[in-house]
């Protein structure tokens, strides 16, 4: 190799589990884009051939076999480029999470993941086996034998090593050993979930990986809602030695492929390594280093010299409101098209939760059109039966077909919520329908009164009379969704999920619950932000004032009861504080109460007695309602305080309900009186 200056890149891919043809097409698109931009080394995400979220399908030998066949299909398209591609590999009668290294059309070796992600959202230890460090074996497929294991690739003088996602998050990360063997470039192929603030941590890992090893470090992540719950933000990061991050991708793109490149000078890092008194090379292990031929002579001008390392890279950090908007709109977009639904149906109540879901769909359309343009927008949704073939539609026409809302009034519905729902839907151009469910509710209550031989009343039958209204709304909104072939969205939030403040088979109806991963207090603040400021230069939505000025209410009791959510439960800021302390921090009732007195220290706001009552109510409701959380529609993972029992927060359906712990709380309260 004549020069140490080369162009490298990473690509984020929006893949789908077991979508072999689609996944291959997007991989080839990334490779072709990189070839056109004269990238010599390209890093693609973890398990991007099969999809990361294949779940127990990984146990099937046929999945690994099909993934390898796709890999072989890709080989002829990799001339003049070296590419790292993720896939499952079946070897030794088990499955490994691996990276295939392809160099100028030739498969040179497979690197297997050493540290598996096995906590919180991740269950890799259920499907894969970890690869032992320093071990190399042979892998044979179709009479072709290639090395498999802990490998380094010497591309005619440029040494490349691999970390796979979790490998970089552990203390004894492989990067240290790779650096000691003279590696110039470390590739990190990842499938790392989005959560608020996660980008900051990723930047630190990548920067530290490059700085501590004096290497170029390339990180590539998946993009979009791949399998239903996790959203990947599509981050690509390129860092180099002490120079820090040189390139960073945009996040949450509606594109299928996002390529990010950087020009790097390997000589700078090699010089730093020579000057570093602590750098101790270990020498080569012959079977670990794979020599790869590569036509570097085809890249004489691959480095433009325009990179100015004296100026720090300008990183953009989104606010939580912006991250929430981009993550959920991208999640909705992918869920819509990957489920091949004809649109969305939302039971609009005039309250904060259903308004949030409706507005997110409106923002999804605007953001997707802004990034993709009309032609690409239509191409991604070309399965929709109602999209025009020639005519170009504006936002109002799109929204009237894409989002169908229905306000289902009872005797207890107010003009306030009706007007708020109707005017909001008019402002975002959603189709608005109105049903009156009073007669159906009367039929159900009448049948039961005949059976019981007594009238139902609010003093004795409060819960039953509330719930029948919510449940009556379920069949009609499901009927609408089925009639249109649309995706019904549930509008429950995380605060309600924590305490079971929802009617099963009523307001929980839906195939997706997009805001069940976020708390009510955040939703209320987000709505105010959209009302007054708006997202990403799209302008504010003043009509939301009709929502934000209301007190949250289920409107299931007679209007003269003046029902409100916070009176039924507790103030939302307190509820969310208790939830974090009890569920995220795993504290017992007495500890939670003590912490609350510090957080809400003004006795004029809440007395110790009130706070103790809120804590007791929370723990009792939390324990009683695990069965509801088990039945919620799939929700997006948005932060690391999720309550989804299938992916994050497990709790027994039947339990002692913290009875003894609540006794300790009451005893401590008595001592303060």
Indicate the DSSP class of residue 512.
B
Strand partners, 103: 82, 106
Residue 637's pLDDT band (cuts 50, 70, 90) = very high
Taking the domains of the chain in order of start, what are their residue ranges? 8-301, 321-563, 570-673
Structure tokens belonging to residue 574: 């307190």
Tokens read off for 276: 């570093």
- Residue 584 is given by DSSP the state I
CA atoms of 25 and 28, how far apart (whole Å):
5
* Cβ-Cβ contacts under 8 Å for 470 (sequence gap 6 or more): 503, 506, 507, 554, 556
Whether 653 shows a pLDDT value over 60: the answer reads yes
* Fold category of 570-673 in CATH: Arc Repressor Mutant, subunit A (1.10.10)
Q: Is the pTM of this model over 0.85?
A: yes
Q: Does domain 321-563 have CATH number 3.40.50.300?
A: no
What pLDDT digit, counting tens, does each position of 203-236 carry? Answer: 999 999 999 999 999 999 999 999 999 999 999 9
What mean pLDDT, rounded, does the chain reach?
93
pLDDT value of residue 310:
39
> Packing angle between helix 520-532 and helix 352-380, nearest 10 degrees?
70
In this prediction, residue 142 has a pLDDT band, given cuts at 50, 70 and 90, of confident
Predicted pLDDT at 3: 66
SS3 508: coil
**Of the given ranges (79-83, 355-359, 549-553), which has the lowest mean pLDDT?**
549-553
* pLDDT at residue 463 greater than cutoff 80: yes
Q: Does the structure show a pLDDT above 80 at 638?
A: yes
Could you report the per-residue pLDDT of 600-610, keeping only the tens digit for each? Answer: 988 888 999 99
Indicate whether 104 pLDDT > 90: yes
Structural tokens at position 509:
């109806």
Token reading at 252:
């949450």
> Which pLDDT value is given to residue 466?
87
Which two tokens mark 394?
């504006």
pLDDT at 306 over 60: no
pLDDT at residue 314 in the model: 67
Q: Given this model, what pLDDT does residue 237 score?
A: 97
Class of domain 8-301: alpha beta
Q: How far apart are CA 245 and CA 513, in angstroms?
A: 36
**Tens digit of each residue's pLDDT (9 = 90 or more) over 619-628:** 999 999 999 9
Which residue has 């698109």 as its token pair? 29
Q: What is the pLDDT of residue 555?
A: 63
What pairing do the DSSP bridges indicate for beta strands 41-43 and 82-91?
A: parallel
Measure the CA–CA gap between 533 and 321, rounded to whole angstroms.
Answer: 11
* Contact criterion met (CB below 8 Å) for 521 and 576: yes
Which is nearest to 230 in space by CA: 126, 320, 120, 319?
120
Cβ–Cβ under 8 Å, residues 11 and 83: no
The share of the chain scoring above pLDDT 70, in percent, equals 96
Residue 248 predicted with pLDDT over 90: yes
């Amino acid at each position: 190799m004549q020069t140490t200056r080369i162009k490298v890149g990473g690509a984020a891919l929006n893949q789908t589990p077991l979508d072999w043809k689609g996944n291959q097409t997007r991989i080839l698109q990334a490779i072709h884009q990189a070839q056109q931009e004269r990238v010599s080394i390209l890093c693609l995400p973890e398990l991007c051939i099969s999809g990361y979220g294949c779940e127990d399908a990984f146990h099937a030998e046929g999945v690994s076999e099909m993934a390898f066949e796709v890999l072989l299909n890709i080989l002829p398209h990799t001339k003049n480029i070296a590419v790292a591609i993720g896939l499952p590999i079946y070897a030794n009668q088990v499955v490994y999470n691996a990276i295939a290294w392809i160099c100028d059309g030739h498969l040179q070796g497979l690197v297997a993941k050493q540290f598996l992600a096995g906590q919180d959202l991740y269950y890799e230890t259920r499907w894969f086996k970890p690869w032992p460090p320093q071990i190399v074996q042979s892998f044979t497929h179709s009479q072709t034998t290639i090395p498999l294991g802990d490998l380094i690739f010497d591309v005619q003088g440029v040494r490349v090593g691999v970390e796979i996602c979790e490998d970089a998050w552990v203390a004894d990360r492989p990067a240290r050993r790779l650096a000691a063997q003279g590696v110039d470039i470390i590739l990190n192929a990842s499938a790392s979930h989005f959560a608020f603030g996660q980008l900051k941590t990723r930047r630190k890992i990548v920067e530290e990986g490059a700085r501590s090893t004096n290497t170029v470090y390339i990180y590539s992540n998946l993009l979009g809602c791949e399998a239903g719950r996790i959203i990947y933000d599509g981050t690509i990061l390129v860092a180099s030695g002490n120079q820090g991050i040189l390139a960073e991708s945009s996040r949450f793109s509606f594109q299928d492929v996002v390529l990010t490149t950087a020009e790097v000078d390997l000589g700078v890092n090699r010089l730093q390594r020579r000057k570093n008194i602590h750098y101790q090379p270990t020498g080569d292990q012959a079977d670990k280093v794979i020599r790869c031929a590569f036509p570097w002579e085809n890249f004489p001008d691959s480095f433009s010299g325009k990179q100015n390392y004296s100026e720090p890279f300008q990183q953009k950090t989104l606010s939580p409101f912006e991250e929430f908007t981009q993550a959920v709109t991208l999640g909705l977009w992918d869920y819509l098209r990957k489920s091949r639904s004809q649109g969305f149906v939302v039971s609009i109540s005039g309250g904060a939760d259903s308004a949030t879901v409706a507005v997110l769909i409106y923002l999804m359309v605007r953001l997707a059109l802004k990034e993709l343009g009309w032609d690409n927008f239509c191409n991604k949704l070309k399965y929709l039966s109602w999209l025009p073939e020639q005519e170009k539609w504006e936002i109002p026409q799109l929204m009237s077909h894409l989002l169908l809302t229905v306000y289902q009034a009872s005797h207890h519905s107010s003009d306030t919520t009706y007007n708020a729902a109707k005017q909001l839907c008019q402002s975002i151009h959603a189709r608005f329908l109105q049903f009156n469910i009073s007669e159906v509710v009367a039929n159900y209550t009448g049948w039961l009164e005949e059976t019981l031989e007594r009238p139902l009343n609010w003093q004795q039958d409060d819960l039953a009379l509330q719930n029948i209204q919510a449940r009556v709304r379920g069949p009609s909104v499901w009927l609408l969704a089925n009639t249109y072939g649309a995706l019904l969205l549930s509008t429950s939030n995380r605060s309600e999920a924590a305490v079971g403040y929802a009617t099963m088979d009523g307001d929980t109806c839906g195939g997706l619950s997009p805001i069940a991963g976020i708390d009510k207090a955040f939703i209320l603040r987000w709505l105010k932000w959209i009302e007054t400021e708006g997202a990403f230069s799209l302008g504010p939505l003043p009509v939301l004032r009709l929502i934000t000025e209301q007190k949250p209410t289920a409107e299931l009791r007679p209007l003269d009861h003046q029902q409100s959510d916070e009176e039924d439960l507790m103030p939302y800021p307190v509820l969310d504080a208790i939830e974090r302390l009890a569920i995220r921090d795993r504290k017992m009732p007495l500890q939670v109460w003590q912490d609350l007195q510090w957080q809400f220290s003004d006795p004029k706001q809440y007395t110790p007695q009130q706070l103790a009552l809120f804590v007791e109510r929370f723990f009792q409701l939390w324990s009683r309602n695990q069965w509801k959380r088990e039945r919620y529609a799939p929700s997006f993972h948005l932060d690391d305080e999720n309550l989804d029992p299938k992916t994050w927060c497990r709790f027994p359906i039947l339990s002692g309900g913290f009875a003894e712990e609540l006794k300790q709380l009451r005893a401590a309260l008595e001592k303060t009186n």
